Structure 1
């Protein structure tokens, strides 16, 4: 038999309401000494919160539900869940995720999440994109992570792609590079915003790109699509004005650029500097030389999302752009 609130109240000499307040954050007022004593007695008696009963009483369980839009299939995007989980545990909450994939509708996954009576629900995507939620469903979602709600009805946390590209371009310029090409990710929002930041920053310096080229032969980037990187790098290095830097749409593209440059006998960074985005550790840190890249703010997005979901008062919906972090290694 597990200890009950009444058992703890009898041992502590207080009411059951006071015990509940000390252990579950109720409205009962008490001193810090009393609160600490109740928690100590609960631990001594081996008290375990009856989550089902608690959920019935207050209408929700200490859970944050996540609609994971292919998120758990991406090893580096899981940093979102880590950030969310760490912040939630500090508030004595737990996180669970339901994967949105395989043709399942948002409505069906949301309904499945709601069955667990979570305190709040987040929608998190594997990559930065715009998501159209039906108006009636948007009311159930407290925050969008790594994606933007198309109708701006939900607070959305997204990486600041444009500024990240601007910062990386300024870094290349500060390193003395002036002939910069960009092998980008076609057809996706991150690629579009990164290209804008790249072009704007070069223009402010009175320069133009050597070239902006798609990394794959499809209209929309996919890391399983047929690559164009080798062809592009060979053509760039055979041109009259060879690049002294190549900016890559992500670390996978950078890995291909490394290989292509070596095939034409070019040294990194002496002949050509290479910069990138995402900071996929298993790629960026193991390349030779290690890759200078912009780290996505995934963990920071998760932590901030928890704060928004657990806030006592929800503010109006807004778009928040979180900065990348420059990770300096040896490729520039």
Structure 2
């Protein structure tokens, strides 16, 4: 039989309430010496917290539930879960995720998450977008991660795509580049915001873009859509005023740009500098030369989300934009 709170209390010569306070952070007052002695006795007896019983008493389990909107299928967006988990463990909480995809609707996944009686629920998306939560469930979601709620009823943590594009464009300008093209991600909120930041940086420098072009033929970017990168690069390099820098919508696009520039006989960065977004390390560090790119704040979003979910401070719903980090490598 597993040791119980009463077993620990009997061995320590204290009340069950005191043991609970020492092991679970309750309100019982005690000296640090007593707290440490109780924890040592609990460890010697092999006491394990009965989470189910604890959940019945306080109405929730020490869990953060995540509705993962295709998140766990993305090799780099899983940094959100890592950030959440690290901060949750510090607070002696655990994180579990349930995947939302085309075969399951938001309401059913949220209801499934609620059955576990988590302390808090987060909604995390694979990419920056706007999400319409069912009205009946909006109050159950404590925070939106990498996305925003359509009506503004839920606090949202999103990447600051516009500022990231402004910063990387300024980096290209500082490196002396003046003829800059942008091969962007059509139909995505991130692409729209990045184009805004790109244009703002060039406007402030008094420079017009060489061109802003979609990376794929379809109206909404996916990495499976027919690519237009090769066609764009061939046209740009054959123009009377060819670019001396190309900003790419993401690292996958940059990988295609590298190949197309080499086919055109252009050297990176001697002839054309290349900048990008995402910092998919398995791509960015293996390109030759390694790629300068803006790292998404995924892990920071997860960490901040956990801290906000577990905070006792009540703040009104708002949107918080987290900065990217410029990872400067040899492509600029």
Class of the TM-score when normalised by the shorter of the 2 chains: over 0.9
Which residue is 2:65 aligned to? 65
**CA distance, structure 2, for counterparts of residue 28 and residue 106 of structure 1:** 41
SS in 1 for 2:44: helix
CA positional deviation for 1:232: 0.1
SS in 2 for 1:21: helix
**CA distance, structure 1, for counterparts of residue 208 and residue 55 of structure 2:** 60
| Structure 1 position 235 matched with structure 2 position 235 | yes
**CA distance, structure 2, for counterparts of residue 301 and residue 174 of structure 1:** 29
Which residue is 2:131 aligned to? 131
CA positional deviation for 1:90: 0.7
Which residue is 1:320 aligned to? 320
SS in 2 for 1:207: coil
**CA distance, structure 1, for counterparts of residue 57 and residue 8 of structure 2:** 19
RMSD: 0.7
**CA distance, structure 1, for counterparts of residue 188 and residue 33 of structure 2:** 56
Which residue is 1:5 aligned to? 5
Q: Mean Cα displacement is larger for which, 135-144 or 295-304?
A: 135-144
Which residue is 1:108 aligned to? 108
For residues 119-152 of structure 1, the C-alpha deviation after alignment (integer angstroms, 9 at most, x for no partner) is: 1000000000000112221100000000001111
For residues 23-56 of structure 1, the C-alpha deviation after alignment (integer angstroms, 9 at most, x for no partner) is: 1111111122211111111111110011111111
Which residue is 2:207 aligned to? 207
Can you give the 5+ residue segments of structure 1 that lack an aligned partner in the other structure?
Answer: none
Which residue is 2:49 aligned to? 49
Structure-to-structure mapping, 1:257-272, within 5 angstroms: 257-272=257-272
CA positional deviation for 1:10: 1.2
SS in 2 for 1:178: coil
Structure-to-structure mapping, 1:10-89, within 5 angstroms: 10-89=10-89
**CA distance, structure 1, for counterparts of residue 172 and residue 26 of structure 2:** 55
Which residue is 2:285 aligned to? 285
- How many pairs does the alignment contain? 332
**CA distance, structure 1, for counterparts of residue 41 and residue 228 of structure 2:** 66
Contact 2:172 2:245 in 1 (8 A): yes
Report the TM-score, using the length of structure 2 for normalisation.
Answer: 0.99
Contact 1:308 1:314 in 2 (8 A): no
Contact 2:106 2:134 in 1 (8 A): no
For residues 37-80 of structure 1, the C-alpha deviation after alignment (integer angstroms, 9 at most, x for no partner) is: 11111111110011111111111111100000000010000000
For residues 162-211 of structure 1, the C-alpha deviation after alignment (integer angstroms, 9 at most, x for no partner) is: 00000000000000000000000001000000000000110000001000
For residues 225-279 of structure 1, the C-alpha deviation after alignment (integer angstroms, 9 at most, x for no partner) is: 0000000000000000000000000000000000000001000000000000000
Which residue is 1:331 aligned to? 331
**CA distance, structure 1, for counterparts of residue 172 and residue 74 of structure 2:** 29
Can you give the 5+ residue segments of structure 2 that lack an aligned partner in the other structure?
Answer: none
**CA distance, structure 1, for counterparts of residue 163 and residue 118 of structure 2:** 35
